[in-house]
Structure 1
Amino acid sequence: MDSVENQVYVIIYSTLFLGGIMSTFVISMVFIHRQRQAQNRQKVDQIKSEHEKTLLNIENEIQQDTLTQIGRELHDNIGQLLSLAKLNFGSLKPEKHAEGKEILNQVIQEVRGLSKTLNLDWVESISLSEFIEQQLERINNTGFCETVLEADVELVDLPKDQKLVLIRVIQESLNNAIKHASPDKIGIKIYRDGLNRRIRIQDDGSGFDTSLQTNGSGMHNLKKRMDTIGGEFKLTSAVGEGTEIILTLPN
């Protein structure tokens, strides 16, 4: 009888012991799961904060560039038109007054066009392909170098945050080519590679040694910006062989 009771006690204690271990295990797993959830929430909040900060910086940069462009237009274009209108109105000939009125109408149209660029509404009203075409045309019109655009894919309906980042990355890539590469030709191709949409920015300029680029370089910042929207930035260059940048758009 004692033997049976002992066995019962052993079974009871074993069950309680195993139950305690299981309870401890379950509580530990719940605790670890909650910790991981908290860490994941923290990571998500950090990524979201970095994303919003990146977009704000990009908006500020684009607005600053826009103001610089407007200042240039006011000085070089509208200022000259107003001076010409003044000369015409100062004439005693009636036909000159008519020419002056036509010039003033042109000035009004120019000012209206500039006013539309004071905010970022134009980002939503223009496709990325149209923006690229405008940028290349502007470079081509200066006579600095030849530009070519190939578009096998139409980039439409991109979210505003993606379009903002892509616009700024493309602007900076073109500015770097103009400032540092002294190319004879800059080409941009928009194409599809499998499921991916890509933008290739290529110049035949001086190129550079990519191993000399540091973490604080502009190219590193462009890569980080593409990362924030789930895209990719890849640069290939060599001294004397030009530079190629491939932007992979987020799917």
Structure 2
Amino acid sequence: MPVPLTVFLRVNLFFCIVCWNIASAQTPTLQNLFRRYEAHKLGDTAYLKAVDSLAPQRLGDDSLPAELSLYQQVAFKKNIPAKYRVRYYRYMAAQAYNKNRLGSAIYYAEKNNEESIRAGIFKAGEIPHSDLFAMAVYSDNWNFAAAFAKYDKLKTRIHGLIGAIPKVSGEELFVAFSILNELASTASHAKDTARAGEAVRVSDSLLAAVDRSPAGYTAYRTFYGSMDHIIRFTVARDRGQNDSALALLEAALADVRKPDYSKNVQAAYAFDFYQDAFDFFITTGNRDSARHYLDLAVSRSAGLFDSSRDKASFVLGSASKLEALSGDYTAAYRDLKKAYEVQDSTVHSISSDKNNNLYALAEAENARSELARKDEEGRRMQQFNILLFFMLVILILVVTLGYFIVASRAKQRMLRLRLGLARNFHDEIGPMLMYAGTLAKKEGEQHPSPRLEELRGHLVHVMEAVRGMTHDLKSSDLSTVVSLAREVTALLEKIKETTTIDFSIKHQNGSRVLSHFQHNHLKKIMNELVSNSIRHSGCSGIQVALQAEGRHLLIRYSDDGKGFDPGQDTQGIGLQNVRERVGLLNGSFRLINEHPAGYAIDLKIPLL
């Protein structure tokens, strides 16, 4: 059976199909809803419900994540039901999957699973739906080793379900049968007969255990049976047992048509089974049956919550096979070419996803969103406290003491929150980036390329930026232009004591804040420039000017030494280091040579 990549989506996103049908008769847009909410014409719950009626139509749009930013802020308020947080992550997973950003899709599927457990939709300790989704992603992209590794991590739990029935929930068995189906399909593609046999044995044992205690599984029994039939069909087909395979396929097709089949996945699995039937009959030479099931698959695909590229590739490829068998080779070639073009587009998207490590990027982006949301909550809390303070002062002065106590506690909570966030950045995101950097380094050693070197460079910069953010969150003292000027002054005073080189330093708007990242690199830049003056210029004086102007910090460094000879190379290691650090700060560098009367360097650095 072809691997159904959207198994996770079928289980958790059925409500999207329903909302889509409801929204087809509606006219508002997400932007209109945003404006109505900002104008206080919609309350929190009304806004969330309105978005739920429209978002399923936009799951293929690149703009959806940005348009859901307000939905996320509202859904994560303390008084809002948890189901809306679950839906937010479902939308993000679905949109990422539809755009073939599979790393992001897996990440958001895991977040959906976490929120579903908090909301009581899933039970803690059960097989996560996100693991099923990840295994399907790996298998669909022919990463069989990763798919098998994912199964091996779940193997003990799945085998343990056999003896735990009837205490196992119907939903967990749903996931277990789906994973076994993925295992059988992956083993079929990988020609791993041992794992294929294991999928059959475990599926048969689970089904037998269910039949011994059927009371709690009535709503799922037909689905379980269809999974067992299609797993056994896959193995029988691969073994060349066509008669047995045909009987099992017909049993699975009969199951999926039954009225008691799980409604939220019936259409999707019918489409998959029709695909299996087409492939089987085209392989065995039954052209009429193959065409019949292709027509059924096409009719079932309409309105399915699935990747349009996957369906288009299947339909075009299948039509090409039938046209070739009918002797219409021109049409067969045309449709086959289109099918490969669709597949190439998907492969390109998936390759880009892997190269850019979108799982880690999605996690970092979500962490930044949560941090911004916490900061906004803190800002609102602070405003509320100030307003409350003035009200209490007007009513009674004695309450002022109580207010300061509350404000102090709020500040302590905010400090603890910042420390917690800093710890999370350090303990979670840092190791992930380090692991990504190690992988990139190893890949570069085995398959060197300029793009891998560029990727490694970006990873190093991201890690340094994360360390800077962690330091800023932990530190209660902010770096400013004044503090930078003090450190440069201290350095020049030491130089003056040992070399008699005089100096002057000026600064304006010194209260402007510098991040730890900026402060650290600017300090090293100044150290490098002073070192160059001492070693090479023969100067008697150094001048430094720091000026915060608008959104930039302007720095002029100069000495009265000999400057650079007109034919002298100005690309030495020292100045090259300065240029690189200025580039890391997204700034500009300008060298002004006044030979033989010294030189000057102008730096322009963006401020926070």
TM range (shorter): 0.5 to 0.7
**What's the Cα RMSD here?**
3.9
2:583 is equivalent to residue 237 of structure 1: no
Equivalent position SS for 1:248: strand
Equivalent position amino acid for 1:172 in 2: E
- 1:32 to 2:348 alignment: yes
Which of 434, 450, 459 is equivalent to 1:48? Answer: 459
Secondary structure at 1:207 match in 2:
coil
Determine the C-alpha separation between the residues in 1 that align with 2:569 and 2:351.
Answer: 39
Equivalent residue, structure 2, for 1:207: 563
TM-aligned CA deviation for residue 193 of structure 1: 5.8
Q: Deviations over 1:180-216 (max 9, x none)?
A: 2122331111124664322110112111137533755
User: What's 2:533 paired with?
Assistant: 177
Judged with a 3 Å threshold, the aligned counterparts in structure 2 of structure 1 residues 246 and 38 are, in CA distance, closer, same or farther, namely farther
Other structure's SS at 2:514 match: coil
> Does the CA-based 8 Å contact 1:153-1:192 persist in structure 2?
yes
Alignment of 1:188 with 2:544, yes or no, is yes
1:249 has 2:605 as partner? yes
* Correspondence 1:20 to 2:20: no
The 2-side partners of 1:124 and 1:166 are apart by 11
Find the aligned partners of 2:504 and 2:572 in 1 and give their Cα distance: 31
- In terms of fraction of residues, the more helix-rich structure is 2
From the superposition, tell whether residues 38 and 244 of structure 1 become closer, same or farther in structure 2 (CA, over 3 Å): farther
* TM alignment of 1:112-151, pairs within 5 A: 127-141=483-497, 144-151=500-507
The answer (yes or no) to whether the contact 1:231–1:250 under 8 Å persists in 2 is yes
Secondary structure at the residue paired with 1:212?
Answer: coil
The alignment status of 1:154 with 2:543, answered yes or no, reads: no
* Alpha-carbon distance in structure 2 between the residues aligned to 1:214 and 1:237: 10
Pair 124,184 (structure 1): closer, same or farther in 2 beyond 3 Å = same
Deviation string 1:34-82 (CA, Å, 9 cap, x unpaired) is 33344445544432226768xx9xxxxxxxxxxxxxxxxxxxxxxxxxx
- How far does residue 218 in structure 1 lie from its aligned partner after superposition? 1.7
Q: Distance in 2 between matches of 1:166 and 1:177?
A: 17
The answer to whether the 8 A contact 2:479-2:516 is kept is yes
- CA gap 1:244/1:216 in 2 versus in 1, 3 angstroms: closer
> Aligned-pair distance for 1:149?
1.6
The 8 Å contact of residues 538 and 561 in structure 2, kept in 1 or not, is answered as: yes
Q: Which amino acid aligns with 2:457?
A: Q
* 8 Å contact kept, 2:478–2:514: no
Query: Equivalent residues in 2 for 1:84-99 (5 A)?
Result: none
Matching residue's letter, 2:340: T
Cα separation, partners in 2 of 1:189 and 1:47, compared to 1, 3 Å:
same
Residue 167 of structure 1 and its aligned partner are, at CA, apart by 0.7
Instruction: Give, in whole Å, the separation in 1 of the partners of 2:483 and 2:554.
Output: 15
Q: Which residue of 2 aligns with 1:117?
A: none
**Inter-partner Cα distance in structure 2 for 1:236 and 1:131:** 25
In structure 2, the CA distance between the partners of 1:155 and 1:128, relative to structure 1 (3 Å rule), is farther
Per-residue CA shift, 1:60-107, capped at 9, x if unaligned? xxxxxxxxxxxxxxxxxxxxxxxxxxxxxxxxxxxxxxxxxxxxxxxx
Counterpart mapping for 1:57-68 below 5 A: none
Seen in structure 2, the aligned counterparts of structure 1 residues 37 and 244 have a Cα distance that, compared at 3 Å, is farther
Structure 2 letter corresponding to 1:49? V
SS at match of 2:595: coil
- How far apart in 1 are the matches of 2:337 and 2:498? 78
Which residue is equivalent to 1:165? 521
Distance in 2 between residues matched to 1:182 and 1:123, nearest whole Å: 36
Partner residue, 2:578? 222
Unaligned runs of 5+ in 1: 1-8, 57-121
Segment drifting more, 233-242 vs 35-44: 35-44
Q: Contact between 1:185 and 1:204, CA under 8 Å: does it hold in 2?
A: yes
TM-score under structure 1 normalisation?
0.55
Q: Which has the higher contact order (CA 8 A, sep 6+)?
A: 1
Question: What is the CA-CA distance between 1:177 and the residue it aligns to?
Answer: 1.1
Deviation of 1:140 (Å): 4.4
Work out the CA distance in 1 between the residues paired with 2:587 and 2:501: 29
